[in-house]
Amino acid sequence: QYRSGNEIRTLFLDFYAQREHQILPSASLVPEDPTVLLTIAGMLPFKPIFLGQRTSEFKRATTSQKCIRTNDIENVGRTKRHHTFFEMLGNFSFGDYFKEQAIAWGWEISTQVFGFSPQNLVVSVFEEDDEAYNIWRDKIGVSEARIKRMGADDNFWASGPTGPCGPCSEIYYDFHPERGEDNIDLEDDTRFIEFYNLVFMQYNRDAAGNLTPLQNKNIDTGMGLERMAQILQQVPNNYETDLIFPIIKTAAQIAGIDYHTSDEKIKVSLKVIGDHVRAVVHMIADEIRASNVGRGYVLRRLIRRVVRHGRLLGISGNFINQVAETAIALSESAYPNVRQREAAIKAELEREESNFLKTLDRGEKLLEDIIQQVKQQGQTQISGESAFTLYDTYGFPLELTQEIAEENNLTVDEAGFNTEMQKQVERAKAAHETIDLTVQGSLDKLAEHIHATEFLGYTQAATTAKVE
């Protein structure tokens, strides 16, 4: 049955509210937890409770949490199911109900509320978690062929290198049960999509990697709202759901193109815009400002990617606020703060977009000169050094240089570019390794070190983040 994104959110929250869960509002994308740069999961705001550092007024809670995962940035537009910004629906137990109840309700909401047929469901459990396996088989009645034991990579959950963790069990939707039960491969995304993760939080992991049992066992779950919408709206990917597609349509309209008849590359650009615009709207609504460090840099990077993909669609001037307006209109009923912060959002986006456009213009002029020179010299290739200067100083991703080169029947020395990139990394390393005996130098080092440590709390992808 078709369900809008807003309906799915409400159905989930109501189901758990009826089971004595307190509905709480989404926390900010800026976490209280200083070890994490952005809110990456529904459980993050509850981490102090799970760790026993804070007590909860409620034994059970349910939320729809705004999340940003920059580690999925390369997946955006390329897989059917990944976003940077998405909403995670969750039900939580703070030392109250545990594994058996969480599984029973997870199954009930999937089959009764969302109407999934058991034939379309597959579940995974952590390979050592016989308890979960037996509950699925004996209490719920899932056939053994549809219960998969998986390793720690997929089925042992942790919010980071340290913190609360435990085995988990996930529910997948099977789009093609007719393909049989013999070769169930949950990695096959033409057939399966993971939509609900039930974490049985039993441990805390310290910096040395030791697991200690938590005082109280907890339940933490996450269901992807956009993935549920994909399944229930019977569309080929998350991007074509009512939660995101209107943004894509706006961008396509500005570019004067049609999504459905566009080739794959254009679709990727439209999807990147659809995803990132939601992300930046919510980030600025949560008071993040563009900058060159930390979450400000994530914001800047996302805005620049929107601008660049707009250019790839042939959009030349400012356009980000038109798509941002669609994103605001889409989410204001669930998140009124995006409309309240509309002026700030639009001012920030406008400024960043204009600045980046200017830099891109300067880079384009430089590139024109380079192209002319190469042609005059009767050559066919742009050097790695030139491509690197464009990248490093003018924010020109290699792909963009390559594209413009191609339009001029030229190529780019990619290996040379990579060499320059490597040299830059070495230079940065060397700069860190020189010993500075002055007091100021040592202070700077210390500051650098503290900054680097902050960054390490974040995903690896982000520490090497570059505008691409």
Which residues are within 8 A (CB) of 458 and not within 5 positions of it... i.e. 6 or more apart?
36, 37, 38, 70
Supply the minimum distance, in Å, between the C-beta of residue 169 and ligand ATP. 11
Please identify which residue in 83, 278, 301, 305 interacts with ligand ATP, judged by CB under 6 A: 83
**Could you tell which of Mg ion, ligand ATP, none binds residue 86, using a CB distance below 5 to 8 A set by kind?**
ligand ATP
Supply the minimum distance, in Å, between the C-beta of residue 316 and ligand ATP. 31
Best CA proximity match to 308, nearest among 256, 253, 363: 363
Supply the minimum distance, in Å, between the C-beta of residue 225 and ligand ATP. 8
* Residue 194 binding ligand ATP, by CB under 6 A: yes
Please identify which residue in 16, 50, 86, 200 interacts with ligand ATP, judged by CB under 6 A: 86
Best CA proximity match to 9, nearest among 75, 79, 87: 87
Dihedral, 264, 266, 267, 268 alpha carbons, nearest 10: 90
In single-letter form, the type of residue at position 408 comes to: N
For 279: left if phi > 0, alpha if psi spans -120 to 50, otherwise beta; the answer is: alpha
202-261 residues in contact with ligand ATP (CB under 6 A) are 222-224, 226-227
Q: Distance (Å, rounded) from C-alpha 170 to C-alpha 34?
A: 28
Region of 28-36, 52-60, 77-85, 337-345 interacting with ligand ATP (CB under 6 A): 77-85
Structural contact between residues 71 and 79, judged by C-beta atoms closer than 8 angstroms:
no
* Residue 197 binding Mg ion, by CB under 5 A: yes
313-352 residues in contact with Mg ion (CB under 5 A) are none
Please identify which residue in 105, 126, 192, 195 interacts with ligand ATP, judged by CB under 6 A: 195
* Residue 81 binding ligand ATP, by CB under 6 A: yes
Residue 4 class from Cβ within 10 Å (0-12 exposed, 13-18 middle, 19+ buried)? Answer: middle
Supply the minimum distance, in Å, between the C-beta of residue 94 and ligand ATP. 19
* Residue 123 binding ligand ATP, by CB under 6 A: no
Place of tokens 């999961």: 41
**Which is nearer to ligand ATP, 275 or 420 (by Cβ)?**
275
Supply the minimum distance, in Å, between the C-beta of residue 227 and ligand ATP. 5
* Residue 12 binding ligand ATP, by CB under 6 A: no
Region of 98-106, 138-146, 189-197, 426-434 interacting with ligand ATP (CB under 6 A): 189-197
Region of 76-84, 104-112, 360-368, 430-438 interacting with ligand ATP (CB under 6 A): 76-84
Please identify which residue in 62, 110, 159, 197 interacts with ligand ATP, judged by CB under 6 A: 197
* C-alpha Rg value of the chain to the nearest Å: 24
421-450 residues in contact with ligand ATP (CB under 6 A) are none
Q: Distance (Å, rounded) from C-alpha 265 to C-alpha 403?
A: 13
Separation of first and last alpha carbons in the chain = 39
**Could you tell which of Mg ion, ligand ATP, none binds residue 69, using a CB distance below 5 to 8 A set by kind?**
ligand ATP
Q: Distance (Å, rounded) from C-alpha 449 to C-alpha 451?
A: 5
* Residue 88 binding ligand ATP, by CB under 6 A: yes
Q: Distance (Å, rounded) from C-alpha 306 to C-alpha 73?
A: 12
Tell me which residues touch ligand ATP (CB under 6 A).
Answer: 69, 72, 81-83, 86, 88, 194-197, 222-224, 226-227
